[in-house]
Structure formats: C-alpha cells, structure tokens
Homo-oligomer: A and B are copies of this chain.
Amino acid sequence: MANRVRRSMPILPISIVMQLTELTARQIRYYEEHGLISPARTDGNKRMFSLYDVDKLLEIKDYLDQGLNMAGIKKMFEMASRPQNVMSEPKNLSDEDVRRIFREEMIPGKSFTGKNFRQGDLSRFYQ
C-alpha cells in the first residue's frame, strides 16, 4: 500500500515527540545519549525525529516500566535488529533476506503483531 508516510523520514521536532510520547526533552536526550535512538539533525543542530523514532521511544518507556535499564534496553534493540536463530541450522540468508526480515520484524507498523511490539500505544494518533 502506497499511502503511508515513510516511517524513517525525520519530520518531527522534539516538542511534538514530547506530546506523542509523554516524555520530557530531558528523557529523550538522555536516551539518545545512551545510544537508544539517533534522531537526525538539522543544519542548525536541532533534533528531528521520524515516526520510527517515536515508536522506539514508546518501546523504551515500556521497557523502563518493566525495570530494564539503558544497557538492557540497548541489548533488546540489538537482539531485535538481527535475525533470530530459531533453529540451529545455518540459514544461508542473503543480505536481501536480512534486510527484508529487518523491515518486516523490526520496523513497527509493518507487522504490528509480532511479540516485539505492543499494540495500541500509537493508536490514539492513528485513525
């Protein structure tokens, strides 16, 4: 379907991300400082966030509620970003496969049903 804004396009200023996530600027910057997100920057050094970043911030909130710390959350993201080794057989995945899997499993909004993603967080902003 061709009618969905690119989730990776940096279009949101921090003020809007604060509203969408109910996080403070301090929190958002702190998470960036610890490598959990990497928002784009304008020429003038202002952070610009994508919808993908917003999804990630909501995940971070959730993990924090569950008692994880920065290091733990970072690990979770690292795990989620590589194809998991379900069986022990070598899979012989091509780069293209990896990219497809990443897209389908990691990027929220593609398959919202995976266990890595909670449903309903962004639902108030969708119609």
**Partner-B contacts on A (CB < 8 A):** 2-7, 9, 11-13, 15-16, 20, 42, 48, 51, 109, 112, 123, 125-127
Identical copies in the complex: 2
13 inter-chain pairs at a CB distance below 8 angstroms, sorted by A residue, are A3-B4, A3-B109, A3-B112, A4-B127, A5-B5, A5-B51, A5-B125, A6-B125, A6-B126, A11-B11, A11-B20, A13-B13, A16-B48
> A3-B112, A4-B4, A112-B3 in contact; A125/B12 too (CB < 8 A)?
no
> A12-B12, A13-B13, A16-B11 in contact; A5/B126 too (CB < 8 A)?
yes
Interface centre among A5, A6, A7, A42, by most B CB within 10 Å? Answer: A5
